[in-house]
Amino acid sequence: MSDKEHTIKPWGGRFSEATDAFVERFTASVQFDQRLYHHDINGSLAHAKMLNRAGILNDEELQQISNGLNDIRTEIERGDFPWSVSLEDVHMNIEARLTESIGVTGKKLHTGRSRNDQVATDIRLYLRDEIDTIATELTRLQEGVIALAKREASTIMPGFTHLQTAQPVTFGHHMLAWNEMLERDYGRLMDCRKRVNISPLGAAALAGTTYPIDRAYTAELLGFDAASANSLDSVSDRDFAIEFTAFASLVMTHLSRFSEELVLWTSAQFNFIDLPDRFCTGSSIMPQKKNPDVPELVRGKSGRVIGHLIGLLTLMKAQPLAYNKDNQEDKEPLFDSIDTIKDCLKAYGDMVPAIEVKADTMREAARRGFSTATDLADYLVRKGIAFRDAHEIVGQSVAYGIKHQKDLADMTLEELQQFNDSITADVFDILTLEGSVAARNHPGGTAPEQVKIAAKLASERLLSR
Ligand code: ARG
């Protein structure tokens, strides 16, 4: 190594020996921040344009820099960019390559900026694009959930509390519950996007810069809503990444609940639904097995995303202002959260419309579990009995039913009248599953009529996005 080889580093001037080989690898981020190349180049193009407008770069220099950066983008996309760990990160790799290809003008690009505002800008631009992709995937999944709700608006299933049969509900209503969770997730994503879409460019290392920069102009060129208000804050905080990961953790939590139900429902014991073979795999030893791997994996992957949220919070906690190298650790958890959630939303978006509902088994399960017991109590209240007494009376009839293996609707009028003589033949209207769900006919209720209205409103809400 020549005496001055260490000066290959853009910051090498004050150093008298080369970086330790291990330290070089340990401190580098290029292995994982390469994926920011597109947004890094866009940020640099905007910065160069602004420098030109401010009279810091002349027209020819701007042209050279722009052409050079666009060539580098092509080179990266072709797969023949010479990424180098000794150039530490995506920013220095691209800048060094620019200087290599266009000469001394390349060295002027970094005027009035620092990698600290550069990296904050890159992550925000990258995340903004990913947010938009995720929003589209989330909408697609919701369309599938709502379509299934419309298709199965009148299909009866047992509703559960404590995973014990509670009251009959419609399958469509159950699906719309999932849609509400996803709707709130979408709202959180859009809210997060507002705070992501702020430009840190111009904050430079931490204090701003002595050049006559135009921060509003670069913000506008890059499609940011505004330039950030404080240079120290701009380069130091990663709360926007934490917010995104919190959003992702909630979506994954919701999908894990959805998954848990799909796994249960596909089991022989429930047998409520079937998933097409293309979403399942078999067992290498048990020939009869068809495993719901997709929902199981989604359920499992919620763990890593929630882990990333805790990781990022812990990364940020107690960091002094302004930029610290700690922040280089923001990328892998953020990137993995993005990748994971995109995959999981895609899997669900493809799978949900293909769910095959087994209406007969669900109906039978709802019929078996005394799911209309509350309806009988409400019936007795309408006959003038106080609710607590009605509750007791129905409890006795359920005990009788368990003993004689009869559901309430299977008992004769005489059998029912043993428990209360105000019961008359009209009781059978409310003991049926259809009667039970149809009676819950108010906004937010499970009646098929309401489910159809709610599904229509949910579709309209999607269209207005
Ligand atoms: N690779 C660095 C990161 O991801 C870029 C910023 C480096 N800044 C610095 N002052 N060392 O955070």
Domain at 89, CATH number: 1.10.275.10
What pLDDT, in 10s, does the model give residues 319-366?
999 999 999 999 999 999 999 999 999 999 999 999 999 999 999 999
Q: Considering only CA atoms, which of 376, 338, 353 is closest in space to residue 252?
A: 338
What pLDDT, in 10s, does the model give residues 85-116?
999 999 999 999 999 999 999 999 999 999 99
- Looking at the domain assignment, is residue 90 inside a domain? yes
Residue-level pLDDT at 10: 83
| Nearest-5° Cα angle at 47, 44 to 50 | 150
Residue for token pair 């009028």 = 413
- Identify whether residues 193 and 127 lie together within a single domain: yes
Query: How remote is the CA of residue 4 from the centroid of ligand 1, in Å?
Result: 23
Beta-bridge partner residues of 161: 164
| pTM of the full structure | 0.94
- As a whole number, mean pLDDT of residues 9-29 equals 91
When mean pLDDT is compared across 32-41, 105-114, 142-151, 423-432, the lowest value belongs to 423-432
Beta-bridge partner residues of 273: 357
185: containing domain = 116-210+224-363
- Looking at the domain assignment, is residue 458 inside a domain? no
Residue-level pLDDT at 4: 46
| DSSP 8-state symbol, 19 | P
As a whole number of angstroms, the longest Cα–Cα distance in the chain is 104
Asked whether the beta carbons of 15 and 195 are under 8 A apart, the reply is: no
Residue-level pLDDT at 286: 81
Q: Considering only CA atoms, which of 130, 173, 128 is closest in space to residue 150?
A: 173
CATH number at residue 241: 1.20.200.10
Residue-level pLDDT at 105: 98
CATH number at residue 425: 1.10.40.30
- As a whole number, mean pLDDT of residues 26-54 equals 98
Amino acid at 130: E
- Looking at the domain assignment, is residue 455 inside a domain? no
Mutation to probe ligand 1, out of 113, 238, 316, 328 (largest number of atoms < 8 A from CB): 328
Q: What is the mean pLDDT of the chain?
A: 95
Residue for token pair 């005394």 = 370
Q: Does any ligand 1 atom lie closer than 6 A to the CB of residue 118?
A: no
Q: Does any ligand 1 atom lie closer than 6 A to the CB of residue 228?
A: no
Q: Does any ligand 1 atom lie closer than 6 A to the CB of residue 327?
A: yes
CA dist., res. 437 & res. 448, Å (int): 7
Query: How remote is the CA of residue 27 from the centroid of ligand 1, in Å?
Result: 9
Is 3 a residue whose pLDDT tops 80? no
- Looking at the domain assignment, is residue 395 inside a domain? yes
Number of domains in the chain: 3
Query: How remote is the CA of residue 195 from the centroid of ligand 1, in Å?
Result: 21
- As a whole number, mean pLDDT of residues 16-33 equals 95
Looking at the chain, the whole-number percentage of residues with pLDDT higher than 90 is 91
Q: Does any ligand 1 atom lie closer than 6 A to the CB of residue 116?
A: yes
How many C-beta neighbours within 10 Å does residue 360 have?
10
- Identify whether residues 241 and 339 lie together within a single domain: yes
- Identify whether residues 53 and 105 lie together within a single domain: yes
CA dist., res. 174 & res. 352, Å (int): 13
Q: Does any ligand 1 atom lie closer than 6 A to the CB of residue 89?
A: yes
- Looking at the domain assignment, is residue 351 inside a domain? yes
Q: Does any ligand 1 atom lie closer than 6 A to the CB of residue 105?
A: no
CA dist., res. 248 & res. 192, Å (int): 11
- Identify whether residues 142 and 287 lie together within a single domain: yes
- Looking at the domain assignment, is residue 436 inside a domain? no
When mean pLDDT is compared across 181-190, 281-290, 387-396, 441-450, the lowest value belongs to 281-290
Which residue numbers are catalytic? 162, 283
Residue for token pair 């760990």 = 85
Query: How remote is the CA of residue 119 from the centroid of ligand 1, in Å?
Result: 7
When mean pLDDT is compared across 16-30, 60-74, 283-297, 307-321, the lowest value belongs to 283-297
